[in-house]
Structure 1
Amino acid sequence: MRPVKKIALLHDMCGVGKAALTNMMPILSVMGVEACPIPTMLLSTHTGGYDSPAVVQIPGAYIRSCADHYKEQNITFDAIFVGYLGHVDMIDAVIYFIKRFPDTKVILDPIMGDHGRFYSNFDESYAFAMRRLLPYADIILPNLTECYLLTGQEYQITGNHRHVLTLCRDLKKLGASDMIITSVPKDDCKKGIVLYEDDAFLYLGNGEMLGEYHGTGDAFDGMFVAKLVLGYTMLESVQASHAFVCECIRESERYEYPEREGLLIEKTLRKLV
């Protein structure tokens, strides 16, 4: 029996500007979980505030070869996390990887947009392709914008949670199972979280007004996946992730430094030990 849990991370790697694997890996390590990075894209920086980064797209053949090699070596994972893929061609390769580990829990963050629109390098064709991954995921972690993009509906900021519940049910029809939806507003809370598990709907609000930083979603994902594989419930995992991200933001707001450098997680990680 392995002394630690092991997670495969299919996500992008940024050299500067804390995001993606750069955020998730240290969080998982501090939480006592082995992080196994399988890069889907290499970037000199993340894409927010650094003009045009140097980018290398990892071919899908690499992802497939990783899966085959792991199977040959009898390597198993306690969970597979799928994050930023970058291009449509990667979808088939990720499905191939997941199918090689049919009994492994899959967590998908369908990263493609925010604030009501696609990120600059994505469009409707990417959302259409991303839908193919939904039936393979045990849990999805979209923000509210990505829920609209996945369902093909026009984005609207709404505090009416009956409408958000309808979005959840529409995602279920597309093959999704349980889901955590971030950036859901309600009344004075602009960044609440919806937990939709076994067709039960729960809203978790936050009355505290905090700033926005690059990499916040990745920090949330890292803590959520860590807690989940350590045996915590979805609700407990969400609560721990939310608390950790809020603490990181409070720590970040104590300093004056360029926002493009991302969420300041280093000083907060020590509090987890």
Structure 2
Amino acid sequence: MRPVKKVALLHDLCCVGKAALMNMMPILSVMGIEACPIPTILLSTHTGGYKTPAISHIPGDYIRNCADHYKKEQISFDAIFIGYLGSVQIIDSVIYFIEQFPDTMVIFDPIMGDHGQYYSNFDASYGKAMRKLLPYADVILPNLTECYLLTGKEYQITGNHRNVLPLCKELRKYGNFDMVITSVPKDDCKKGIVLYEDNAFLYIGNGEVLSEYHGTGDAFDGMFLSKLLQGYSLLESVQASHAFVCACIQESQKFDYPEREGLLIEKTLRRLV
């Protein structure tokens, strides 16, 4: 029996700007989880606030070969995390990877848009292709925008968080997964969280007005995955992740530094040790 849990992270590697793997891996490590990165795309920086980064797309064959090698070496994982993929071309390879570990929990964050629209390098064809991954997921972690993009519905935002419920039911047509939906407004709460588990619908609000930083979603994902692998419930994992991200934001707000450098997770990580 392994002394620590092990997770495969299929996500982008963003060298400067603290996002993606660079946020998730230290959080998982501090929380006692072995993080095994399988990069889907390499970037010199994240794409917010920096000029066009150096980019190298990882071939789908690499991801398939990783899966084959791990199977040959009898390497197994306690969870597989699917994050930013960057291109339609590797989706089938990601599915192949998942299929080699059929009994492994899959957490899927369909990173492709925010604020009601796709990121500039994606369009509706990408959203449609991403739906192919939904049947393999045990839990999905979209923001509100990505919920709309996955369903193909026109984006709308109101103060009534119950409007998310039809989206949850629509997404459930693709698979029997639980959902954690971020950036859901309600009345005076700008960014709350909807938890949809076993057809139970719960809203978690935040009374504070907090600044936005690059990499908060990845910090949330890293803590959520850590707590889930430690045996906590979905609700407990969401609450811990929400609290951690809020603490990181509050710490970041103490300093005057370029926003593009992302969330200051380092100082907050010390509290977890």
Percent identity for Structure 1 against Structure 2: 78
Determine whether 1:234 maps to 2:234.
yes
User: What is the alpha-carbon distance in structure 2 between the residues aligned to residue 72 and residue 204 of structure 1?
Assistant: 43
CA contact (8 A) 1:41 1:58 kept: yes
- 1:196-211 matched pairs, under 5 angstroms: 196-211=196-211
User: What is the alpha-carbon distance in structure 2 between the residues aligned to residue 12 and residue 175 of structure 1?
Assistant: 25
Determine whether 1:179 maps to 2:179.
yes
User: What is the alpha-carbon distance in structure 2 between the residues aligned to residue 38 and residue 256 of structure 1?
Assistant: 34
User: What is the alpha-carbon distance in structure 2 between the residues aligned to residue 22 and residue 10 of structure 1?
Assistant: 12
CA contact (8 A) 1:13 1:20 kept: yes
Q: 1:262 to 1:176 in 2, by over 3 A?
A: farther
Q: Deviations over 1:23-79 (max 9, x none)?
A: 000000000000000000000000101110000000000000000000000000000
User: What is the alpha-carbon distance in structure 2 between the residues aligned to residue 98 and residue 177 of structure 1?
Assistant: 15
Q: In the alignment, what sits opposite 2:22? A: 22
- 1:76-115 matched pairs, under 5 angstroms: 76-115=76-115
Q: In the alignment, what sits opposite 1:3? A: 3
Determine whether 1:50 maps to 2:75.
no
SS state of the match for residue 66, structure 1?
Answer: helix
User: What is the alpha-carbon distance in structure 1 between the residues aligned to residue 249 and residue 188 of structure 2?
Assistant: 19
Structure 1 residue runs of 4+, over 3 Å off? none
User: What is the alpha-carbon distance in structure 2 between the residues aligned to residue 88 and residue 158 of structure 1?
Assistant: 31
TM-score (norm 1): 0.99
TM-score (norm 2): 0.99
Q: In the alignment, what sits opposite 1:137? A: 137
Q: Deviations over 1:147-180 (max 9, x none)?
A: 0000011111122233200000000012251000
Amino acid at match of 1:143: N
Amino acid at match of 1:45: T
User: What is the alpha-carbon distance in structure 2 between the residues aligned to residue 221 and residue 269 of structure 1?
Assistant: 15
User: What is the alpha-carbon distance in structure 2 between the residues aligned to residue 79 and residue 195 of structure 1?
Assistant: 20
SS state of the match for residue 11, structure 2?
Answer: strand
User: What is the alpha-carbon distance in structure 2 between the residues aligned to residue 201 and residue 50 of structure 1?
Assistant: 38
CA contact (8 A) 1:140 1:176 kept: no
Amino acid at match of 2:259: E
CA contact (8 A) 2:43 2:56 kept: yes
Q: In the alignment, what sits opposite 2:220? A: 220
Q: CA RMSD in A?
A: 0.6
Amino acid at match of 2:12: D
User: What is the alpha-carbon distance in structure 1 between the residues aligned to residue 167 and residue 258 of structure 2?
Assistant: 36
Q: In the alignment, what sits opposite 1:160? A: 160
User: What is the alpha-carbon distance in structure 1 between the residues aligned to residue 113 and residue 159 of structure 2?
Assistant: 20
SS state of the match for residue 49, structure 2?
Answer: coil
User: What is the alpha-carbon distance in structure 2 between the residues aligned to residue 231 and residue 169 of structure 1?
Assistant: 27
User: What is the alpha-carbon distance in structure 1 between the residues aligned to residue 68 and residue 205 of structure 2?
Assistant: 43
CA contact (8 A) 1:83 1:110 kept: yes
User: What is the alpha-carbon distance in structure 1 between the residues aligned to residue 91 and residue 53 of structure 2?
Assistant: 23
Q: Which piece of structure 1 moves more, 242-251 or 159-168?
A: 159-168
SS state of the match for residue 102, structure 1?
Answer: coil
User: Size of the alignment, in residue pairs?
Assistant: 273
CA contact (8 A) 1:79 1:104 kept: yes
SS state of the match for residue 156, structure 2?
Answer: coil
Q: 1:33 to 1:43 in 2, by over 3 A?
A: same
User: What is the alpha-carbon distance in structure 2 between the residues aligned to residue 158 and residue 51 of structure 1?
Assistant: 34
Amino acid at match of 1:118: Y
Q: In the alignment, what sits opposite 1:249? A: 249
Q: Which runs of 5+ in 1 are unaligned?
A: none
